[in-house]
Chain A
Amino acid sequence: MHGFVLQAHNFTTSEVRYLHKYLALSGNEFRNFALTGQWVGNRMSSYSYSHRFKGVDGDKTEEHNSADEAGVLDNPIAAAAPTPLRVDSARFRVGTTSQEHLLLGPALNVLAERGITPPADLCTRDVAASEETGVPVCSSEEAATHGGAFIFYGFGWDMAADAFKVYYMFHGLSSVPTELLRAAGIDVRAMHLCCCSPTLNLNRTSMQPLGH
């Protein structure tokens, strides 16, 4: 039997509402990801979480996301699952690849509560969500999915690091401010020739992303 230990963190009221909304939408999110193909961002996961197992086999960390559980990616760790005695769940990220318009309102409340200003180019693909939140509608569906806009992607909590993460999705490098591209070492001219790019770290630190 697993013993789950969720590290102490006091979620704010807005964060709890966001999490409740995410959970209420998770069925459709998974369906969109696994069956209907309505996700945006080529198999990017709508959630991920990590567990550290403390058991007879020593410490072991597992990363999970919706791609794993939809059978999209191999998960050799799950195939050879040990028998853990205790699970420390310190990090998780929850968001959306297909329902940003439904999570946007609760997400903006979280940002406002924390005093975090979203990117100036944040937009939504849904008119009703725009009217509800004041976030402008992406200039067109084409722009929202193929360049020119940031859409909300998700939040993450890292209890061990006492940190909060915010993710925005973009499509097309034209969405990314030039200074960010330069800071990341991206040569835009080269990108036209070779669309392959490593995961880039603006601050050159060793911290790894959650689930990506």
Chain B
Amino acid sequence: MAYGLLSYTYSNRDNSVIESKIYVYPKTAKEALKLGIKLPSK
């Protein structure tokens, strides 16, 4: 199961959105295996 977070950055001056990002995990096969995700063999 992928999981992650949404990140929004706002200016302190006017609260306008400066930047938005999405982070998705796991980032590596090793992390995926630790989560119990079955990876294809090939």
B6 with A170: CB separation less than 8 A:
yes
List residues of chain B with CB within 8 A of the CB of A44.
5, 25
B1 with A116: CB separation less than 8 A:
no
Question: How far apart sit A176 and B37, CA to CA, in the bound complex (Å)?
Answer: 20
List residues of chain B with CB within 8 A of the CB of A198.
24, 27
Question: How far apart sit A212 and B27, CA to CA, in the bound complex (Å)?
Answer: 11
Q: State whether A150 and B39 are in contact (beta carbons under 8 Å apart), knowing that A195-B32, A207-B19 are contacts in the complex.
A: no
A169 with B3: CB separation less than 8 A:
yes
Question: How far apart sit A170 and B10, CA to CA, in the bound complex (Å)?
Answer: 20
A180 with B18: CB separation less than 8 A:
no
Q: Which of A53-61, A133-141, A158-166 faces chain B?
A: A158-166
A195 with B23: CB separation less than 8 A:
no
Q: Which of A147, A150, A171, A209 contacts B23 (CB 8 A)?
A: A209
Q: Which of chain A's residues 160-187 have a Cβ closer than 8 Å to chain B?
A: 162-173, 176, 180-181, 184, 186
By secondary structure, the A interface counts as loop
Distance in angstroms from B32 CB to nearest chain A CB is 5
B2 with A115: CB separation less than 8 A:
no
Question: How far apart sit A212 and B21, CA to CA, in the bound complex (Å)?
Answer: 12
Question: How far apart sit A200 and B23, CA to CA, in the bound complex (Å)?
Answer: 6
List residues of chain A with CB within 8 A of the CB of B20.
202-203
A184 with B6: CB separation less than 8 A:
no
A162 with B13: CB separation less than 8 A:
yes
A172 with B23: CB separation less than 8 A:
no
Question: How far apart sit A116 and B27, CA to CA, in the bound complex (Å)?
Answer: 30
Question: How far apart sit A146 and B20, CA to CA, in the bound complex (Å)?
Answer: 23
Question: How far apart sit A195 and B31, CA to CA, in the bound complex (Å)?
Answer: 10
Question: How far apart sit A181 and B5, CA to CA, in the bound complex (Å)?
Answer: 12
B15 with A116: CB separation less than 8 A:
yes
Question: How far apart sit A170 and B8, CA to CA, in the bound complex (Å)?
Answer: 14
Distance in angstroms from A186 CB to nearest chain B CB is 7
10 inter-chain pairs at a CB distance below 8 angstroms, sorted by A residue, are: A41-B25, A147-B1, A162-B11, A163-B12, A164-B15, A168-B5, A171-B2, A193-B40, A194-B39, A200-B21
Chain A interface residues (CB < 8 Å from chain B): 9, 41-42, 44, 114-116, 119, 146-147, 150, 153, 158, 162-173, 176, 180-181, 184, 186, 191, 193-203, 205, 207, 209, 212
Shortest beta-carbon contacts, A-B, top 6: A197-B24, A171-B3, A168-B6, A162-B12, A164-B10, A114-B15
